[in-house]
Structure 1
Amino acid sequence: MKTEALKKRLDKNRPMTSITIRIPEDVVEDLKRVAPLLGFSGYQPLIRAYIGQGLRADLERLEGDTVSALIASLKRRGVSDDVIQDALSEVAQN
């Protein structure tokens, strides 16, 4: 994830929007019970944390798939492994 995008994700004052979601009552009760044990002030911050974790994992996986496909395409076009590795190292430093 780029540095600027990460900074925005860590901003506690970023804009929020309200949504309505139907969740089984027993799941909400479990969330309410678990939230303070995990250090959350309530079940809604815990839900946001769970959503954020899942979203970040999916984004990383999907972006990784894209990078893998790009690398394979470059190799098919004759770009050497050294050039690809140099480019990946350069991107990782930014």
Structure 2
Amino acid sequence: MKIETLKKRLNKNRSMTTITMRLPEDVVEDLKRVAPLLGFSGYQPLARAYIGQGLRADLERLENDTVSALVETLKHHGVSDEVLQEALSEVIYD
């Protein structure tokens, strides 16, 4: 995830939207029980944290899959490993 995107995600004043989600009662009870043990003010912030963690992991995996596919395609078209490494380091460290 890019630094700019991560900074936006960490902003506590991001706008929120209300959703309705059906969860099994035992899951909600477990969330309520675990939330204070993990330092959360309630089960909803914990649920948001869990969703965010899973979403970030999936986004990272999907972005890496796309980059890997692009690198393989560029190699197939004759772009050297040296050029690819230089380009990737510019993307990662800029």
Q: How does the TM-score come out when normalised to structure 1?
A: 0.97
Q: Matches of 1:22 and 1:91 in 2, distance apart?
A: 40
Q: Matches of 2:44 and 2:88 in 1, distance apart?
A: 38
In structure 2, the partner of 1:37 is 37
* Percent identity over paired residues: 79
Cα RMSD over matched residues? 0.6
- Runs in 1 of length 4+ with deviation above 4 angstroms? none
Q: Matches of 2:4 and 2:62 in 1, distance apart?
A: 19
Q: Matches of 1:93 and 1:25 in 2, distance apart?
A: 45
- 1:17-64 Cα distance to aligned partner (Å, 9 max, x none): 000000011110110000000010000000000000000000000000
> What SS class does the counterpart of residue 64 from structure 1 fall into?
helix
Task: After TM superposition, give the deviation of residue 6 of structure 1 in Å.
Answer: 1.2
Aligned residues: 94
Q: Give 5+ residue unaligned stretches, structure 2.
A: none
In structure 1, the partner of 2:47 is 47
Q: How does the TM-score come out when normalised to structure 2?
A: 0.97
Q: Give 5+ residue unaligned stretches, structure 1.
A: none
Amino acid at match of 2:57: A
